[in-house]
Amino acid sequence: MAETIVKPIIEKQLLESLKTKIEEEKQVIVHCCFPASPFLGNLIRIWNSTVLIDNNSSHQSKLIHSENISIYPQWTPVPFMKDFWFTLVFTGLPKDCTSFDFKEVIPEEGGFYVKSIKRNSSDIYRIKISD
Is 0.85 surpassed by the pTM of this model?
no
User: Residue 116 in contact with residue 97, Cβ under 8 Å?
Assistant: no
> How far is it, in rounded angstroms, from Cα 46 to Cα 76?
9
C-alpha span between 8 and 19 (Å, rounded) = 18
Q: 36-57: per-residue pLDDT in tens?
A: 888 888 899 999 999 999 999 9
DSSP 113: E
Domain spans in the chain, listed from the N-terminal domain onward:
27-128
> pLDDT per residue over 100-115, tens digit each?
999 999 999 889 999 9
Termini Cα distance of the chain: 72
Distance CA 18, CA 27 (A): 17
